[in-house]
Every structure is written in C-alpha cells, then in structure tokens.
Amino acid sequence: MPATDFDAERAYDEEQFSAQPVFKNDRIKVVCGYFEPGQFIPVHAPGSDVTICVRSGTGVVREGETEHAVEPDDIVVVEADVDRGIRASEDERLEALLVTSPPPTDAEHDPVREGLRRGVFDP
C-alpha cells in the first residue's frame, strides 16, 4: 500500500498546475494536486467519477453548470460524464487530493491539454 503525505509530494510549477501521482491501477487513480494562484484544470467531462478533497487554499470546483467555492476540508464529488474543472483563487495556492475512478483515458484528457495550451478554464 502506498503511503505518503502532501509535504513529501509537494511540487509547484509556475506554468500550470502540478499533479503528483500517488497510486494508479485499472480501477482508480490518486494524485496530489498543487495549484499556484489562478492555476486550473480546464473543464472537461471524462467517463470517470472524481472526488476532490481540499487540503489548503481556496478556489472553485465546477460541477456541470455549478461552481462550488471550496476551502480546506471541503469535499466535492463529480460523477462521470459531467463537466468538471478546478481553479485556485487568484490570491493563494490550492492543494487537493484528487481520486478518479476509473482513471481517465489519455484521449479524455485532450480537452485539458487544449485548455492549458489556450490558457482557458472553460474551453
């Protein structure tokens, strides 16, 4: 069983959010997400459920047409095939645990790559 903590995995990237893998198999993927102020995972709708547990900082989690303001200890679950995205507040970092099941495919992450390339949260 993998064991780690946010301090051991912490890695920020000035260009885009950082996802540090913790565990992955064919049923589940677990990553620690680190966001500089204003960084985001663009809105996309993969065929997997995701649970987002905020450890520190503030931001928003998009679930369909709803934006949930999040802060430490908040948990948001978004079902498969529903638009989702995460954006850190403009004035502080955000750290969160993201658990997806099943892991999204590489093709399902094309909208994420495109949104990051274009610099838009909602492509």
C-alpha pair distances (Å), 98 with each of 29, 80, 118: 8, 14, 23
Rounded Cα gap, residues 112 and 122, in angstroms: 10
pLDDT tens for 72-109 read 999 999 999 999 999 999 999 999 999 999 999 999 99
pLDDT tens for 9-40 read 999 999 999 999 999 999 999 999 999 999 99
**Where does the pLDDT of residue 1 fall: very low under 50, low under 70, confident under 90, or very high at 90 and above?**
low
Query: In which element (H, E) is residue 23 found?
Result: strand 18-24
Q: Which fold has domain 9-118?
A: Jelly Rolls (2.60.120)
Domain extent listing, the chain? 9-118
Rounded Cα gap, residues 43 and 66, in angstroms: 12
Tokens representing 123?
A: 């492509």
Tokens representing 41?
A: 């995972």
**Closest of 80, 110, 99, 107 to residue 25, by C-alpha:** 99
Whether residue 123 has pLDDT greater than 90:
no
Tokens representing 77?
A: 């679950």
What was the pLDDT predicted at 107? 94
Starting at the edge strand found earlier in the chain, the sheet holding 18-24 runs 18-24, 29-35, 94-101, 49-56, 75-78
In a 3-state reduction of DSSP, which class is residue 41?
A: strand
